[in-house]
């Protein structure tokens, strides 16, 4: 097989495997506990940790929001 084609097949296989694994982990298996509950909780905690800003980051965002509002008020005046 051509090396470029071989590389494409390998990468496609890795991507497909990752997508299927993600879908299997995040699938809804009903209200009861199951084998993947612990893994699903860990994944949810990781997502929440990654996407939720810390208190320091929230303060910085609020400060920037206030500065932006002040600049907008000055332009309107």
Pairwise CA distance, residues 74 & 76, whole Å: 5
pTM: 0.47
Are the CB atoms for 40 and 26 separated by under 8 Å? yes
Q: Is 54 left (phi over 0), alpha (psi -120 to 50) or beta?
A: beta
- In the predicted model, what is the mean pLDDT of residues 14-28? 90
Confidence of residue 4 (pLDDT cuts 50, 70, 90): very high
Assigned token pair, 12: 């496609």
Which pLDDT tens digit goes with each residue over 22-62? 888 878 778 888 888 888 889 889 999 999 999 999 999 99
pLDDT of 77 higher than 70: no
pLDDT number for residue 22: 86
Assigned token pair, 48: 């929440």
DSSP assignment letter at 27: S
């Amino acid at each position: 097989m051509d090396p470029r084609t071989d590389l494409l097949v390998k990468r496609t296989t890795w991507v497909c495997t990752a997508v299927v694994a993600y879908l299997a982990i995040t699938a809804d298996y009903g209200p009861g506990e199951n084998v993947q509950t612990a893994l699903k909780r860990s994944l949810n905690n990781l997502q929440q940790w990654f996407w939720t800003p810390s208190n320091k980051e929230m303060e910085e965002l609020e400060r920037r929001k206030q500065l932006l509002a002040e600049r907008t008020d000055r332009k309107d005046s």
